[in-house]
């Protein structure tokens, strides 16, 4: 059964925005008193909150799918839809939020930090909000925008002052139990510890936390054993305590060789940019299991060699608690020094949020080759949002979208990209919304593509002059006179009777 999880993929679905309402107010003697459709409510956000009381990601491992409430639809009489409630997810301190590609989005290292992992969708405007002096009674409303749907990765990095590192069965869990009130699992076989254990130590006036990292073996930085999976829990620690086993029965092992292997693995582990490498942090050595006679002899034998390397060495026993008091106060001294260094560091650069310029064109027009010619794809926040808000079953809503795109300058950008009337235009990624571009002509001067020195508009139809209209009129009158003369000759030749002539004359009179 899984008891500890430090890497979880959350599948999030933020609330969708509610649709705007199309409504017309009706009163006595005023059947059409004006639009009164309300706006749709906004969808709820999914927010990650750094909570000191939360210590594991196990709950999200068992239930990775999380969603927030949708916004309610707008109603008549100017009633807006209800906003969807936000969903707050508490995460442990030290949780790093990443996307599926491994890009870091947020580092939840301070209590109370909040990060909107999935923003909710915006509610659509009702027809009351869309009415203007020129459009007094809109017959459409805007649709709500879908909320964010996607995955985020939560990676927990334990926040502790001191990290205990060493070989499996070196006594790290026993040391945590002896120094603090924590009660980790302790057994006489390797790899008993399957997840980091935290303990709180009180040494005089100093209180600090220690983390028991699962045992490291040779090749841990390359993925052997459990070390690589849990070495990231050492990143945030101020000091390192090497726990060396002086009573091991494994052939070929001794405290000096164990320390060399552990140092090699710590040096091979890359820390994030801006943090100290693991080997440059303060380090102490604890020679454990001196309650065993052979262990005490070995500890006395290697202490001098370790001190020559510059380490401060403590001989301890987690069974008899010998040497633990001196060790705890030495660790407290290192923790205080580390905290003083952090307090002396300049404050982090503040994040400055600057709104975008009003006239900034936050969209692009890309030309893509297709089997039937070039395709012009429009990508941008505004065009894609406007398309999502449009009800394409309503012609008036489609016309409103066309007006918004024209005001944004989309037609000019399409023309500069080489689009002509009838070109295929796609708004959005993937399939998006596909349509044939029909440019809106104003002066048409910007759409002239004839060679220099010519004007295609001059080759079209033009208005006739008075002389041309007069000449055409006389030609038509002469043709009618000739037709009457021909009829008279046929009558005299006996080809048709007088009754027919009379009817023909009456019909001719009606035509005149």
Binding residues for Mg(2+): 173, 193
Distances, alpha carbon 485 to alpha carbons 90, 219, 334, 479, 482, in Å: 103, 116, 126, 10, 5
As given in the structure block, the two tokens for residue 87 are: 């969903």
What is the rounded distance in angstroms from the CA atom of residue 314 to the CA atom of residue 297?
Answer: 14
Polymer length of the chain: 512
Annotated binding-site residue numbers: 166-173, 191-195, 212-215, 288-291, 317-319
* CB contact at 8 A, 134 and 28: no
Close Cβ partners of 72 (under 8 Å, ≥ 6 residues apart): 18, 40, 41, 81, 82, 83, 84
* CB contact at 8 A, 207 and 187: no
* Cα–chain center distance at 226: 32
Distances, alpha carbon 58 to alpha carbons 8, 53, 87, 165, in Å: 8, 14, 18, 24
Residues facing 416 on adjacent strands = none
Alpha helix segments (H runs only) across 143-247: 172-179, 227-230
What is the rounded distance in angstroms from the CA atom of residue 429 to the CA atom of residue 415?
Answer: 21
3-state SS, residue 204? coil
* CB contact at 8 A, 191 and 225: yes
Alpha helix segments (H runs only) across 389-443: 395-408, 410-416
């Amino acid at each position: 059964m899984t008891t500890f999880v430090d890497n979880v993929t959350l599948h999030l679905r933020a609330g969708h925005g509610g649709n705007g309402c199309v409504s017309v107010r009706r009163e006595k003697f005023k059947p059409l008193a004006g639009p009164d459709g309300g706006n749709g409510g906004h969808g709820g956000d999914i927010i990650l909150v750094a909570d000191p009381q939360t210590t594991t990601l196990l709950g999200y491992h068992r239930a990775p799918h999380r969603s927030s409430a949708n916004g309610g639809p707008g109603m008549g009489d100017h009633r807006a839809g209800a906003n969807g409630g936000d969903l707050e997810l508490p995460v442990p301190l030290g949780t790093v939020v990443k996307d599926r590609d491994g890009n870091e989005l947020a580092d939840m290292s301070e209590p109370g930090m909040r990060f909107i992992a999935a923003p909710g969708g915006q509610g659509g405007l009702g027809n009351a909000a869309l009415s203007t002096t020129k459009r007094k009674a809109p017959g459409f409303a805007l649709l709500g925008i879908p909320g964010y749907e996607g995955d985020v990765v939560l990676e927990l990095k334990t926040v502790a002052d001191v990290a205990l590192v060493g070989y499996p069965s070196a006594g790290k869990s026993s040391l945590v139990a002896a120094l603090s009130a924590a009660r980790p699992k302790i057994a006489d076989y390797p790899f008993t510890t399957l997840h980091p254990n935290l303990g709180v130590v009180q040494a005089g006036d100093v209180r600090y936390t220690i983390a028991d990292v699962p045992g490291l073996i040779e090749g841990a930085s390359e993925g052997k054993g459990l070390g690589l999976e849990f070495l990231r829990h050492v990143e945030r620690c101020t000091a390192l305590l090497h726990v060396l086993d002086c009573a091991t029965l494994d052939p070929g092992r001794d405290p000096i060789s164990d320390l060399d292997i552990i140092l090699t693995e710590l040096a091979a582990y890359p820390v994030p940019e801006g943090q100290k490498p693991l080997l440059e942090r303060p380090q102490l050595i604890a020679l454990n299991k001196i309650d065993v006679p052979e262990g005490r002899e070995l500890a006395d034998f290697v202490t001098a060699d370790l001190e020559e390397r510059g380490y401060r060495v403590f001989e301890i026993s987690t069974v008899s608690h010998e040497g633990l008091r001196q060790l705890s106060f030495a660790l407290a001294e290192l923790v205080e020094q580390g905290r003083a260094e952090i307090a002396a560091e300049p404050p982090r650069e503040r994040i400055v949020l600057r709104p975008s310029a009003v006239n900034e064109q936050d969209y692009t027009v890309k030309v893509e080759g297709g089997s039937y010619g070039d395709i012009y794809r429009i990508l941008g926040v505004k065009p894609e949002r406007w398309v999502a808000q449009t009800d394409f079953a309503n012609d008036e809503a489609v016309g409103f979208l066309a007006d918004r795109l024209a005001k944004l300058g989309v037609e000019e950008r399409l023309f500069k990209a080489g689009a002509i009337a009838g070109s295929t235009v796609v708004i959005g990624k993937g399939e998006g919304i596909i349509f044939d571009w029909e440019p809106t002509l104003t002066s048409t001067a910007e759409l002239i593509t004839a060679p220099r020195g010519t004007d295609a508009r001059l080759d079209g139809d033009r208005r006739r002059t008075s002389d041309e209209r007069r000449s055409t009129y006389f030609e038509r009158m002469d043709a009618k006179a000739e037709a009457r003369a021909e009829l008279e000759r046929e009558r005299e030749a006996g080809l048709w009777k007088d009754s027919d002539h009379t009817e023909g004359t009456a019909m001719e009179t009606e035509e005149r």
